Amino acid sequence: MARRVQILAVWLVVCVLPFGLQVRASHGVKEEREKRQQREEEARDRIVELPGQPKVSFQQFSGYVTVSRVAGRALFYWLTEAVHEPLSRPLVVWLNGGPGCSSVAYGASEEIGPFRINKTASGLYLNKFSWNTVANLLFLETPAGVGFSYSNRSSDLLDTGDRRTAKDSLEFLIRWLDRFPRYKGREVFLTGESYAGHYVPQLAREILIYNKRSKNPINLRGIMVGNAVTDNYYDNVGTVTYWWSHAMISDRTYKQLINTCDFRRQKETDQCESMYSYAMDKEFGNIDQYNIYAPPCHINSDGSATATRHSMHLPHRPYSMMFRKLSGYDPCTEKYAEIYYNRPDVQKALHANITRIPYKWTACSEVLNRNWNDTEVSVLPIYKEMIAARLRVWVFSGDVDSVVPVTATRFSLARLNLPTKIPWYPWYVKKQVGGWTEVYEGLTFATVRGAGHEVPLFKPRAALQLFRSFIEGNHLPKS
């Protein structure tokens, strides 16, 4: 018996243990190969310097992540790391809406990013109210067909909608975190504006579902959306009410709209459509609907205009409500972006357009916008899911936007019937009222005084204060 035990022990030493060592060695080689691949991909995506860029201390990365190998769909991103201590700061994903508009054109270039494009589109200058003073910012152009993001299957541009956008954005985030493993486990917040009022909660829902089955869950901590499309019916009623309460339309037109339109439909009756057309053509006047008190952008002498989000259609609105008048803030900041991001040297620095997309980069894709395939009637049920999951949920509104106005958001959020924790109060920035806020069980709502549809564009200091309070989990300051 003892002899057998000795033979077995020798066999274990000679045969089995080396096999175990080989397995561990093989596993170690695989891990090292994966790390080397990650380092190579990160190095390939590193932005050395953008044309005309001032010197900065933070790192930047940009490039593509494939989200469907079968269709050849790849989404473009731009990461601007935090100015201070990026390794200890959260990751904030920013999405613009449209649907069909670029987060590079708007979020990165005229709202929360570190750079602004100068009037000649020859270079960049610093935005001192950039949100990367607080967090690492990841700008994502989604869905495929927006900005530099592309699909090799042309039919994808004709049948995109909410569902595919959410699933592709989740796939992007999973694969992006594999490429940048130092962000795994980091706090993640989703932010955006306008039709991202759909994108952001829908992506949050996909993450919550993914986390239930994943061994490496995404550390999603909260969402924040501004002037957000939320609920078809209440958004539409709230919009018409805003027009009336801000003297943009007459009592007669307001009553006719309220009595004639269903507000739940995407395609309204001809009578309702004609009332919308009358309001816009005869009563609005030449105003910027994205900020009713800002001067409109000048139209070119030949009458031409670049199609941007200002001619975009929101899927919850009747088709007569396409915003036909060209409008802007600084003789059309979108035009600066469209010149700058179509420059070959800029695209090379960004590692963009590597497949030679057969169309110019534009701030918004009219093709996607006109062919949006599916849109949720309301995202309020998702809000309930996020609140139940104890995510931090903030909603804010620039109060001079007539496109997705503050009344629309308030009417929509009221349907949640949330108990009030902290009653309505003014919040301050630099000893001035920045807006008003109310804190509910599970959700914070805030207005930004004097801000239009793109809050950080019009009120950058107030927007930064709002963002800082959100990220830190603090209430907005009372003085």
What lies within 8 Å, CB to CB, of 278 at 6+ separation is 253
Instruction: Calculate the dihedral angle through the C-alpha atoms of 177, 183, 186, 188, rounding to the nearest 10 degrees.
Output: -50
CA distances to 73, 104, 397, 425, 471 from 410, rounded to whole Å, are 37, 29, 9, 15, 23
CA distances to 238, 239, 395, 452 from 413, rounded to whole Å, are 11, 14, 9, 19
Rounded distance between C-alpha atoms, residue 190 and residue 331, angstroms:
30
Set 198, 310, 351, 453: catalytic member? 453
Q: Is 401 a catalytic residue?
A: yes
Asked if 462 and 398 touch (Cβ cutoff 8 Å), the reply is no
Structure tokens at 137: 């910012």
Q: Is 412 a catalytic residue?
A: no
Set 401, 402, 412, 469: catalytic member? 401
Set 109, 151, 169, 194: catalytic member? 194
Phi-psi region of 262 (alpha: psi -120 to 50; beta: other; left: phi over 0): alpha
Q: Is 235 a catalytic residue?
A: no
Q: Which residues pair with 139 in a beta bridge?
A: 78, 94
Structure tokens at 245: 């309460």
What b/e sequence results for 415-448 when a residue is b if at least 16 CB atoms lie within 10 Å of its CB, and e otherwise?
ebebeeeeeeebbbbeeeebbbbbbbebbbbbbb
Rounded distance between C-alpha atoms, residue 153 and residue 71, angstroms:
6
Does residue 143 have a cis bond before it (omega within 30 degrees)? yes
- Kindly list the catalytic residues: 194, 401, 453
